[in-house]
A and B are shown apart, each in its own frame.
Chain A
Amino acid sequence: MLTLAANLARPSPRQLSWLKGAVFLLCLLPLCNIAWVVATGTAVNPIEYLTRALGVWTLRLLLLTLAISPLRWLGAPGWLLRLRRMLGLYAFFYGVLHLSSYLWLDQFFDWRAIGHDILKRPFITVGMLAMLLMLPLAITSSDGWMQRLKRNWGRLHRLVYPLAICGVLHYWWLVKRDISQPALYAAILAVLLAWRLWQRWPRRVQ
């Protein structure tokens, strides 16, 4: 038992690559499920379903990425940190699919209508902003960029906080009346951000 526990806390490089492979496949499951529902014609309004489902998974993966640090603080094993980049990139991946679904299937590249949406609909504006902010984070996610940017890498990647807020707002403003779902995401994000504020607090007081 002890060795197993020790293994869980400190997996060998081989075990870690297996773990990464498993998480990689796990993150593809929602996409498979969404594709299955659309392909079998189970959704009455498939384009709406596809766009919504991809958007919801973007948010979930984003929140999961933000949950890694607080989980570590709560005593979760260190290898969780090694999965964070993959989770963040997956959030970006689902976000790109979500955006493509809107641009292609929903609006069918009607750029006038899309431009109008971005300017006039606050929920589209913040959604676009969130995607725009994710782009530099995805590009600079490699080890090479991390070394090149040095301390600025960390500063740049703090963009994840405003973009997550934009993402939740995007969901909140889209919903017609029943805000229970976006409120749940907002509450989780609030906890994740409040923990970070609280972590920085003592230093500021000194």
Chain B
Amino acid sequence: MLIRRPADILPSDITPEAVYLNRRQFMAGAAGLLLPVSALAALPARKSPYSTAEQANSRSDITSYNNYYEFGTGKDEPALYAGRLKTQPWNIVVDGEVEKPRSFGMEELLKYPQEERIYRLRCVEGWSMVIPWIGFPLASLLAQVRPTSKAKYVAFETALRPGEMPGVARRVLAWPYREGLRIDEAMHPLTILAVGLYGDVLPKQNGAPIRLVVPWKYGFKSIKAISRIRLLEKQPATSWNLAAPDEYGFYSNVNPAVDHPRWSQASERRIGEFLKRKTLPFNGYGTQVAQLYRGMDLVKNF
């Protein structure tokens, strides 16, 4: 028979209630004693209804399997060499068809209200991940410079630092890396500028200090380490399109019905999974973005 009797020593005798109620802070403080300050560069961000509930890939998967040709064409090379990139100080020049062209410092952009956006990322090569980005809508930045009625497109450029980027010594692509969006794509609430990953500042191999994330397009559209944004009347040239116009279109929306000329886009391998899964139109973001392309021939405008 089990006889319960009150404990001689109450838990509150050991741990004061105030400490118990603030235990997370207490733990964080204790951790702070052990860790160097740099490891605590956490980035506060609120949750977003745009996030997927799917299981995110591990931090190590996301940070060790990257396409970032400025640091080499191997998937492991960005993690090996991107550390050389100096990301402080960092400015983005925003000009072109705008009323108030100006330069933005990273300190200013980090003060924007940040959101966690857990997005699917589909690479044009046929693999995919789920990534918990931290960032803010590109529209918030564009609103600051007041695009004119002539601003029909947005062009992006990656910083070009031959001394820090070993990959640009070879002209695998036309450097600097260039990407572009139509203005309505750029203003769409799903389109963000990411400054963080997994609650922390963005690792350099993932495009630090600031990169674009457009989750319904193939990954190469989401340009890294942005140093310049221009609003234009005409459609800008983009790096992959210049390299192989028949393989990489300006739009490059994820589309299982339009194959890459050399491989199928009907299915994808989610990193960490054994069997391939079906690729969804617009990478599963169709209900939010399909209306942007109403009446357009998406086979022709691939």
Interface of A with B (CB < 8 Å)? 44-45, 47-48, 105-108, 113, 116-117, 120-123, 173-174, 176-178, 180
Q: Which residue of chain A lies nearest to B263 when distances are taken between CB atoms in the complex?
A: A121
B73 in contact (CB, < 8 A): yes
Tell me which residues across on chain A come within 8 A of B187, comparing CB atoms.
Answer: none
CA distance A174 to B247 in the complex (A): 13
Point out the residues of chain B lying under 8 angstroms from A47, CB to CB: 269, 274
- In the bound complex, CA of A10 to CA of B147 (Å): 81
Known: A47-B269, A177-B243. 11 other contacts (CB 8 A): A44-B60, A44-B61, A105-B274, A106-B276, A108-B275, A116-B264, A120-B264, A121-B262, A177-B69, A177-B244, A178-B69
CB-based closest 4 A-B pairs: A44-B65, A178-B73, A44-B61, A178-B172
Q: How big is the B interface, by class?
A: 20 to 34
User: Does B183 sit within 8 A of A, measured CB to CB?
Assistant: no
Q: How far is the CA of A174 from the CA of B60 in the complex (A)?
A: 27
- The answer to whether A177 touches B263, judged by C-beta atoms less than 8 angstroms apart, is no
A45 touches B263 (CB 8 A): no
Closest chain-B Cβ to A135's Cβ sits at a distance in Å of 25
Chain A residues, Cβ within 8 Å of B104 = none
B127–A48 CB distance below 8 A: yes
Which residue of A108, A177, A178 contacts B276 across the interface (Cβ within 8 Å)? A108
Expressed in whole angstroms, the minimum distance between the Cβ of B193 and any Cβ of chain A is 25
B266 on interface, CB distance cutoff 8 Å: yes
Q: Mark B63-100, 1 if CB is under 8 A from A, else 0.
A: 01100010001010000000000000000000000000
Q: Does B125 lie at the interface of the complex (its beta carbon under 8 Å from any beta carbon of A)?
A: yes
Asked whether any CB of chain A lies closer than 8 Å to the CB of B56, the reply is: no
> Distance (Å) between the CB of B218 and the closest chain A CB?
12
A105 neighbours in B (Cβ, 8 Å): 274
Interface positions of B from 243 to 302, Cβ below 8 Å from A: 243-244, 259, 262-264, 266-267, 269, 271, 274-276
Contact B269 A45 (CB under 8 A): yes
Please determine whether A177 and B262 come into contact, CB atoms closer than 8 angstroms.
Answer: no
Find residues 230-250 in chain B having any chain A CB closer than 8 Å to their own CB.
243-244
Does B139 interact with chain A (Cβ within 8 Å)?
Answer: no
- Whether the Cβ atoms of A177 and B73 lie closer than 8 Å is yes
Asked whether B173 is an interface residue with its Cβ less than 8 Å from the other chain, the reply is yes
Q: Is the CB of B262 within 8 A of A45?
A: no
* Cα A105 to Cα B276 with chains together (Å): 10
**Considering the chains assembled together, what is the distance between the CA atoms of A21 and B263 in angstroms?**
41
User: B244 touching A113 by the CB < 8 A rule?
Assistant: no
